[in-house]
Structure 1
Amino acid sequence: MRTSVNYSGSVDADTGEAAGVLCQVGLRPTAQRRIVLVSLLHCSSALTAQELHGRLRDGGRPVGLSTIYRTLWALADAGALHTFARMNEVAFRRCADGPHEHLICLRCGRIDDVPPAGPAPPGSSRADTAGFTVQSRRTDVYGICASCLCHQA
């Protein structure tokens, strides 16, 4: 599965947003943590720590692998990143704020955040009928994106 980081401008342009996210989740906004987070802001696919480490190194922004692992897991634990299982690894991605579903392409790894289909009427879900109070919910939909289907033809 290929992944791509789209640097459509200066990585430094988003350091303010990254610093804000880090502070919001209780992490000190060090330069290396900001670089890690900014790199994920420009990526349409989830990246493993190893992939991100290689891309940062190749882009002239070396950050230690252990710093990347610690930062990714701290951000995931705080809810600022979502995790995605990929074979025997965990990949990380910054997602949209608020309720959303993930459309995940099985060919290229692209992940699109889309609004949920809509809330179920109160009392109609299985959780409601079981007296269960839902704290969070996540929907991942797997398939082939339009771009990959276009290239297939």
Structure 2
Amino acid sequence: DSYLALRGVPSPARPAHCSYRGMAFVRLLVAVVASAAAIAARAAYAGLRPAASLAALSSEATAERAALDEKVRELRAANPMFSEESCSAMYDTKVKLGGPVPPRSFVKGCSEVCARAHEIHSFWGSGETAAYACGIATEFGCVLDTLPPKKFC
């Protein structure tokens, strides 16, 4: 024991009326609660969502799809060079070169559509909405900005 305990001064970490067995139980309880909190935090971080409201998830998925479609429409209206074919050609060049495309091959808007499709696919992981985002990414020939560039679907 410590010097203070030998002099009859109770430890602030262990009140005099608590047994060692009781303190061990309290420590175990604190460890279990901390572990449960860590597991819950990790599940939330990993994007695991409770299926409490399927209607809310369905409307969120519908909104995601509509927003992506609207983005494609806006980009088509703003840039006549923007199309599935031109984006696919740009990304084919990117894969062949193993990195950024030359300025003359760059098509404005492709990166935005592909980034959004990747975000949606990553968020949903599986199911109709992820498959829809993957379909858009495939139509536009999207690749990840990795070295070497690779397709995500």
TM over 0.5: no
Between Structure 1 and Structure 2, the one with more strand by share is 1
TM-score normalised by L of structure 1:
0.23
Greater fraction of residues in helix: 2
Larger Cα-atom Rg: 2
Instruction: Provide TM-score, normalisation by structure 2.
Output: 0.23
